[in-house]
Amino acid sequence: MLAYQHYYPGSEILPSADLGQAAARHVKCGEEKPNCKNCMKSNRECKYKINLPIERHENRNQVYHGPRWSLSADNCLKVLPGTMEEREFVHIFCTKTARMLSGYSTSDLWCRLLPQLSHHEPTVRHAVVALSAAHAKRPSSSRALQKSHEVFVLEQYSKAIQSLRLLLSKAQGPCFTVLLVTCLLFSGLEMLHGNERRALDHLEGGMKILSSQRQAQTSMGNSSVDRELFQVLYRLNIQLPYFGRPLIPLNISLQKLGVKSHERLLTFDNIAQAREVMANLMQRSILLSATIRMSGENSPESRLLKHEEEQRTLLRETEMWYMAFTEMMKKPTKEVGILDPRAPWILQIEYHTGMVWIPCISSREQLAYDNYLSHFEAVFHAAEQVVRLSEETNPEHPGSKSFCLDTELLPMLYWTVTKCRFPLLRRKAISTLSRYSKQEGIWDAQLYCRILQRVVEIEEAPVASLPVDKRIPAEAHRLHDVRVNPENGLIQTQVSVFMTMKPHGLDGEWMSWWEYVE
């Protein structure tokens, strides 16, 4: 018997098997996961069904029989040497301390090369940890924790010394790079602790090693560490004569500094070259000043003529430097390696200071400095920009004290204020310095600000009754030398200052005395 089938006009007769498929086409999928209800009611497979991996179901009941994992602060691959606490301070050195030590320069020594060297040199690693921990000075209300932190710094310092002694005892001889790096780090550590004499000892020792190495014609090598290390030490050498130590002579030609020169014209590819040439000019000026001072006033005429020729040469090369610097500053800042906007201002301060100092090296009269008002104004304007940028760099804590190993602003500004006798101008400079809460090497900004205030008080005492703008001291009332002696190790609280003047004329006897400035 044939199955009854409905027939509608205009349609074709369909078999019963196709009726189910046609009905399914009129059922809308609900797209629920993993199967929708509409598809299940119509007895068809849902095309949106999720096919779970078979292996996931198979492995669901398997039990892991490996060692139990315990979460800890030091649960990491031990690819770095040292304890967890030592690695922590190496990390602090890379992220904070290195930027502090490098100052405004672009040297890779602190941020990249020293951390790399510390990975395989125990002496460097312990010195880096000690310096980083001393800089961190974790604030704590607990005196016991502070004492524990100080003990940790001393332990790392002691371990660095022991590792250095072991290195020196080896038969193959010492590694000059490690020796110089250690002297540099030890010097910075002693500066942070306020031990100025030891800091100068380490710095002077490193410079003597470098000088003897050059005299023996043994090269440090062409590695990045050696080049960057030499450049940092070359600038730090200038700090020694500021505190009564002899400048270690290092005769470096412009070619060895990588500077191009043609027909008495210099060309700087980057600001690092400008810094090195300026350091070269400053060191040669210091050596010439020391030579003239040792020769005395009764030197033979031939020697005096030689000194005058050296002065003219230094002055000419300083002017050449400024021309090359001006051309370099016309290029984009990134192209010439200016990462800190304060760096060009620092170099301008050094240039204008040199333009005052070099012509007056052989002068007996303090009045000779009064001829360089424009350079004094340029120095103080640049110093104002440096202080302003420093305040903008740390707007939340403008008065917080920071530390930098290299001397950048303070020595030049200090010397310039002692030689500038224009009352309003020098007071403005001292006011600018009072806002600069920074320690550069041994130079503490606030302490030297108080020293300068005392200098102004002494020189202007005879004319104190006059209006401020009229208080220009006479030759007999001017200080010839204001030399700071940090050898007593009290740089953070007080310092002894040696002062000299000639109250009875240039041919009269010297008057000298010591004062303590707190």
pLDDT digits (tens, 9 = 90+) for 261-289: 666 678 999 998 999 899 999 999 999 99
Verify that 145 and 211 share a domain, yes or no: yes
Verify that 122 and 13 share a domain, yes or no: no
Q: For residues 274 and 324, is the Cβ–Cβ distance under 8 A?
A: yes
Count of C-beta atoms within a 10 Å radius of residue 465:
7
Structure tokens that stand for 213 in this block: 């190495």
Least confident of 22-31, 203-212, 267-276: 22-31
Verify that 43 and 115 share a domain, yes or no: no
For 416-434, b/e burial (b = at least 16 CB within 10 A) is bbbbbbbbebbbbbbebbe
Residue 134 lies in a domain: yes
Q: For residues 473 and 459, is the Cβ–Cβ distance under 8 A?
A: yes
Verify that 156 and 112 share a domain, yes or no: yes
Verify that 102 and 25 share a domain, yes or no: no
Average pLDDT over residues 73-98: 76
Provide the H-helix boundaries in 137-254: 143-168, 176-193, 196-215, 224-236, 239-242
If one counts the domains in the chain, the total is 2
Say how far apart CA 252 and CA 458 lie, in whole Å. 41
Verify that 43 and 94 share a domain, yes or no: no
Q: Tell me the pLDDT tens digit for each residue of 397-449.
A: 555 568 888 888 999 999 999 999 999 999 999 999 999 988 898 898 999 99
Which pLDDT belongs to residue 242? 86
Residue 72 lies in a domain: no
Structure tokens that stand for 323 in this block: 């021309």
Verify that 107 and 223 share a domain, yes or no: yes
Residue 177 lies in a domain: yes
Residue 163 lies in a domain: yes
Residue 136 lies in a domain: yes
Listed residue (374, 464, 468, 390) closest to 434, CA to CA:
390
Residue 22 lies in a domain: yes
Instruction: Indicate the residue among 207, 236, 265 that finishes a domain.
Output: 236
Verify that 139 and 192 share a domain, yes or no: yes
Verify that 43 and 161 share a domain, yes or no: no
Listed residue (116, 99, 91) closest to 224, CA to CA:
116
Which pLDDT belongs to residue 22? 45
Residue 365 lies in a domain: no
Verify that 102 and 45 share a domain, yes or no: no
Listed residue (133, 42, 39) closest to 86, CA to CA:
133
Position 487 confidence tier, pLDDT thresholds 50, 70, 90:
low
Residue 117 lies in a domain: yes
- DSSP-derived letter for residue 95 is I
Verify that 179 and 88 share a domain, yes or no: yes
Verify that 35 and 140 share a domain, yes or no: no
Range of the domain at 174: 84-236
